[in-house]
Amino acid sequence: MTAGRSALAVGIGIVVAAMAAAGWVLTAPRPVDPQTARAVSEPGDPAAGKIVFFLAGCDSCHLSPGQSDPTRLSGGQELRTPFGSFFPPNISPDRADGIGAWSAVDFANALMAGVSRDGRHLYPALPYPSYARMSVKDVRDLFAFLRTVPPVSGRTPPDALAFPFSIRKAVGFWKLLYMPAIAQPLAEDPTDLESRGRYLVEGPGHCGECHSPRTFLGGVIASRRLNGAPLPDGKGKAPNITDGGLADWSESDIAYALSTGLTPSGDSLGGPMAAVVRNLAQVPEQDLAAIAHYLKTVKPGGDS
């Protein structure tokens, strides 16, 4: 009987050890694949990257506190969430405090895979589940543009997260649940109206990050994407921007509101959308038209 119990205990121990090893491997940080790494390392176009910068709203989180110049990117503005406070980092080309010493691959790993320069998981306060859908061209162009903005010194405070969300390794399990399965990133952006609109909304524009309800773990509920949700700081709500929520808006109404902040009823878009409007006023009209067209194809409940 004792020998049988010992054998059972050994067997259970082996199973537990195997499960732990499998979990460790499955949740390990996974940088971009070698093909993507080579592609993003090719020279980018800073002028094209400037448009990506405004589409992606980089300054909304990384703008230096008290600054109005969107190219002053020392970060540090507190981002309050149900899980604690995040302090977006310095992404200026300062070599000591920003990303001036980063390679294009370092940048792609952060943006597309949620992996830090030192190989750790990044928290999804950086909306990399959306940025993972970006094209290789947009990523390298954006990196090229960020190298042209002024270097700004200063490091941001460490994130202040409640336990157990402070366990960075757990982000690996989160990624298993919520990272999109993308076999190979797009080489370049789609060009036809609807596909480009989908790309801009789901990729660099990351509209679903604010306008979609989330699970208790903070992952977007895919079946209700863009159906509206409480804002991360708990103050207000991002509205439904599917065709159901925008039923009384035409495509031109949507495009006009995105560039001016003025709604068909004469109201103005405020709160976090004020920064979005400020950025989208800098992008080509055809991109706004593509976004508007795509949003009118998205049906309530997440189906399009």
Distance separating alpha carbons of residues 250 and 296, to the nearest angstrom: 8
Query: What are the tokens at 142?
Result: 């954006």
For residue 148, is it within any domain? Answer: yes
In a domain? residue 225: yes
Among residues 168, 189, 210, which one ends one of the domains?
189
Is 227 found in the same domain as 160?
Answer: no
Q: Does residue 129 lie in a domain region?
A: yes
CA distances 86 to 83, 140, 157, 161, Å, are 9, 26, 9, 8
Q: How far is CA 127 from CA 207, 249, 267, in A?
A: 10, 28, 29
The verdict on residue 16 lying in a domain is no
Residue 262 resides in a domain: yes
Asked which of 189, 219, 252 is the last residue of a domain, the reply is 189
Query: Do the Cβ atoms of 55 and 63 come closer than 8 Å?
Result: no
pLDDT score for 21: 46
Question: 3-class SS at 79?
Answer: strand
Identify whether 72 is part of a domain.
yes
Which of 125, 154, 189 marks a domain boundary?
189
**With a threshold of 0.85, does the pTM exceed it?**
yes
Residues 161 and 258 in one domain: no
Q: What are phi and psi of 174, to 5 degrees?
A: -60, -40
Joined tokens for residue 293? 């067209």
State the CB neighbour count (10 A cutoff) for residue 104: 21
Q: Does 209 lie in the same domain as 150? A: no
Does residue 25 sit within a domain? no
Asked whether residue 286 falls in the same domain as residue 147, the answer is no
108 to 16, 102, 149, 169: CA distances (angstroms)? 35, 10, 18, 20
Residues 20-49: tens digit of each pLDDT: 444 545 689 999 999 999 999 999 999 999
Output the six-digit token pair for 108.
């792609």
* 228-282 residue pLDDT tens: 999 877 778 999 999 999 999 999 999 999 999 989 888 888 888 899 999 999 9
Distance CA 42, CA 141 (A): 10
Same-domain pairing of 184 and 203: no
263: left (phi over 0), alpha (psi -120 to 50) or beta: beta
Count of alpha carbons within 13 Å of 14, Cβ hemisphere only?
6
Q: What is the pLDDT of residue 20?
A: 44
Q: Does residue 155 sit in the same domain as residue 212?
A: no
Are 179 and 228 members of one domain?
no
Q: Are residues 47 and 120 both part of a single domain? A: yes
**Residues 97 and 131 placed together within one structural domain of the fold:** yes
Q: What's the domain count of the chain?
A: 2
Single-letter code of the amino acid located at 116? S
CB 139 within 8 A of CB 51: no
> Does residue 125 sit in the same domain as residue 226?
no
Give rounded-to-5 percent helix, strand, coil for the chain. Answer: 45, 5, 50
Residues 206 and 278 reside in one and the same domain:
yes
Structure tokens given for 88: 């977006």
Same domain, 89 and 160: yes
**Could you tell me which of 46, 47, 53, 112 has the C-alpha nearest to residue 280?**
53
Each residue's pLDDT, cut to its tens digit, for the chain (304 residues) gives 565 555 555 445 454 444 444 454 568 999 999 999 999 999 999 999 999 999 999 999 999 888 889 999 999 888 888 888 899 999 999 999 999 999 999 999 999 999 999 999 999 999 999 999 999 999 999 999 999 999 999 989 898 988 888 888 999 999 999 999 888 899 988 989 999 999 999 999 999 999 999 998 889 999 999 999 998 777 789 999 999 999 999 999 999 999 999 898 888 888 888 999 999 999 999 999 999 999 999 998 754 4
Query: Token digits for 164?
Result: 């157990």
Does residue 89 lie within any of the structural domains?
Answer: yes
The domain that holds 206 is classified in CATH as: 1.10.760
Domain that holds residue 169: 31-189
Q: What does the pLDDT read at residue 246?
A: 94
